[in-house]
Structure 1
Amino acid sequence: MRNGLLFVFFTLCAASASADCGYEGDVFATGLATDPRTGRLVYCEYHLPAQGSQRSVLYYSPEGYRIAEKRLSGVDSTVPAVVQQDYRHGEERIVQPRGGQVSLRYREDANSQWETAILSAGEVDVADAGFDTVVRNNWRRLASGQAVTFDFASPVHGRAIGLRARQVNCSGTADKLCLRVDLNQPILRMFAGELYLEYDRDSRRLELFDGVTNVLDSRGNSQRLRIGYEY
């Protein structure tokens, strides 16, 4: 038991020691993405202060390299414009709402062809960080135990995916609003992963994300991580 506690202690110390990932500019929020099995720091997110309706998110490796960047326009909208680029292998994800339509573009790497889909605005309820706006807009419903369903724009899949958010018991402290997000189709739900989120009840800000992230690993594969946010 003692050795186990020492392992956890040194793991936490190691993650804390490299928690800044080298970025020294102004930030609105910082997210530390760790491997849930080992506690190893995988990358840091730096959410920069908004410039009007625009915000950038920088992703840094623990070694201090910028590995990806995301630019958002219309940050208070449920369907903001999104441009995300991974600098390691050239993956790009783009969501562009315009003129009653939503364009989805995806490129797996710098050598791949673009895949494009055009959806009507009525087919898309949420894109990327717009989910936080959905949570705030439906806070009372979620806090009362009601489920909220929505169609989420996925450039990777070239379509909108039906999802469901609902309140669940918190895995840690009970003073949070804890949500589970999964597929809205009951038959498909058993074959897909899910997200676990914790929101602070006072500020209504996201404090913990547990699930598959929007940043791939260095080999271009999806990865499931825990991201803790500080503001």
Structure 2
Amino acid sequence: MNRSSVCLLSVAVALLVAAPAFAEVFKFTGAAEGADGQTLYEEQHTVEGACTDGVFRPLEHWVSYVRQTAGGEETFAEKALSYQSSDIRPTVSYQQSDFNESLEISYKRAEAAEILWQRPTGDKERSSVDVSDNLVVDAGFDNFVRRNWGKVVSGQSVKFRFLAPTRGTDYAFVLEPAQSQVVNADHVVQIRPDSVLLKFLVDPIILGYNNKGALTAYSGLTNVRENSDQNYIATIRYTVNTYPECALTP
């Protein structure tokens, strides 16, 4: 074997060692219901990632929001998230076409979340929020729960900060055990404000998880706009279509 062949072989081995153990896909679907039990819309999630030390690590995440119309199924909103730099602080690109609304969250500077929000009115607002180690962004809450799975299943509480992008700030929240008449799951937790004042203004979000660490239910305020003044409050029940080969939790 000549020197060039040896070099090429070394490069190939290095790439194989550096590559993820698996290229994995995690798919799940959520049906959002109103207080009357009627289906409002459906979420179709596809998460691509890798198995690292036997645990699924999400990398890219796409969501389609669809509803049934007289003409058939209609996609009225879409979201793309990337967890390349953090599994709890993804970049976010969200568009809801029926209200001409969009939201972009990026990290051009590692120490700040940059937010660009286009309101349904067409007005654009820019803001920046300092990043802390325990700041959670958008769907990163799902990975935050799994990251703290040992505490979740043992009934412990976890404090964190959650980004409120349309307000241009973040708030202190608590993830803790909960009981619910709406959500029935192997593990039920809630996300609630840690501030006494906000407790009276913001209702907790109730989450259900199965023993594998997959989200099975979400009940509370959603990120989907119902009208020009408010977002839907819904209970979303999730069904896993495809699990990755490796575990979802440590």
Class of the TM-score when normalised by the shorter of the 2 chains: 0.7 to 0.9
Q: Residues 148 and 127 from structure 1, CA distance in 2 versus in 1: closer, same or farther, beyond 3 angstroms?
A: same
Between the aligned partners of 1:182 and 1:193, the Cα distance in structure 2 is 7
50-59 or 27-36, larger mean C-alpha shift: 50-59
- Residue 127 of structure 1 is matched in structure 2 by 137
Between the aligned partners of 1:219 and 1:81, the Cα distance in structure 2 is 25
- TM-score w.r.t. the length of structure 2 is 0.74
Q: Give the number of the structure whose residues are more often strand, by fraction.
A: 2
1:189 paired to 2:217: no
- Residue 161 of structure 1 is matched in structure 2 by 171
- Residue 42 of structure 1 is matched in structure 2 by 40
Structure-to-structure mapping, 1:126-145, within 5 angstroms: 126-145=136-155
Aligned AA (1:142): V
Alignment counterpart, residue 82 of structure 1, candidates 81, 92, 98: 92
> Displacement, 1:208?
0.4
- Residue 93 of structure 1 is matched in structure 2 by 103
Q: Residues 205 and 190 from structure 1, CA distance in 2 versus in 1: closer, same or farther, beyond 3 angstroms?
A: same
The 3-state SS of whatever aligns with 2:152 is: helix
Between the aligned partners of 1:69 and 1:27, the Cα distance in structure 2 is 18
The 3-state SS of whatever aligns with 2:68 is: coil
> Displacement, 1:48?
2.5
> Displacement, 1:112?
2.4
Deviations 1:70-91 (A, max 9, x none): 0011176110000111010111
> Displacement, 1:144?
2.3
Gaps of 5+ in 2: 1-24, 51-58, 241-250
Percent of pairs with identical residues:
23
Between the aligned partners of 2:105 and 2:170, the Cα distance in structure 1 is 11
Deviations 1:100-151 (A, max 9, x none): 2211221212x42211111222276110111111111111222222211111
Structure 1 consecutive aligned stretches of length 4 or more whose deviation exceeds 4 Å: 172-175
- TM-score w.r.t. the length of structure 1 is 0.80
> Relative CO higher for 1 or 2, CA cutoff 8 Å, sep ≥ 6?
2
- Residue 68 of structure 2 is matched in structure 1 by 62
Q: CA RMSD in A?
A: 2.3
Asked if 2 retains the 8 angstrom alpha-carbon contact of 1:41 and 1:62, the reply is: no
- Residue 6 of structure 1 is matched in structure 2 by none
72-81 or 58-67, larger mean C-alpha shift: 72-81
Alignment counterpart, residue 149 of structure 1, candidates 156, 159, 174: 159
Aligned AA (1:113): D
Q: How many residues get paired?
A: 203
